[in-house]
Amino acid sequence: MFIANNELIITPDIWIISDTHFFHENIGRYCNRPENWQDLIINNWNNLIAPDEQVLHLGDFALGKKMNFELLTGSLNGKLFLIRGNHDRLSKTYCEAHAVTLLNEPLHVDYYDRVKLVFSHRPIIPLPDDLINLHGHIHNVPPPPEGSNLGPRHLNMSVEVREYRPWRLQDIIKHLI
């Protein structure tokens, strides 16, 4: 277990997701998302995550009007922690007023003294040999071994390669330990 600040506790049960890009109209076309991609992500999110669970979002949560951000944060289950992506531009004060905690990256975690994880929006390059990087930003590039040329220690959590849903940390890294 690791406490990143006074609230975030990294355990096997925390949910991880990246690059939802809610209200970004062009992302569907750029990344060949299904027609109903936004509803798909929201439904998957709320079907999997209970209101009292923690969600670590690795960036590019939403674009557009503040009203859209308020609608999302009021309708998505869980306590949301956000590492800012290149499209996340709302202030810390505004996010926290809407129950979203912004985190600084990279976020380093010793996962039960077995694996050293680092969470970020963009892949960390070069990646030190003793770390595993959970990140987003590269969208449609599948996770290794069939996809990214970044190597097996870079785990792409972008929704396009993760069934448009959040994943429990324990399910993501179980094959690594």
Express each pLDDT in 59-108 by its tens digit: 999 987 888 888 889 999 999 999 998 888 888 898 889 899 999 889 99
Q: What is the CATH number of domain 12-173?
A: 3.60.21.10
- pLDDT, position 122: 94
- pLDDT, position 7: 73
**Residues of the chain above pLDDT 90, percent:** 52
| Spatial distance between the Cα atoms of 145 and 147, rounded to a whole number of angstroms | 6
- pLDDT, position 85: 84
> Per-domain residue ranges for the chain?
12-173
Residue 131 CA neighbour count, 13 Å, CB half = 18
Helix ranges (DSSP H) in 49-176: 66-75, 92-97, 169-173
Provide the pLDDT confidence category of residue 142 given band limits of 50, 70 and 90.
low
In degrees, to the nearest 5, what angle opens at C-alpha 6 toward C-alphas 100 and 53?
A: 55
To the nearest whole number, what is the mean pLDDT of the chain? 88
Q: Which residues contact 149 (CB under 8 A, 6 or more apart)?
A: none
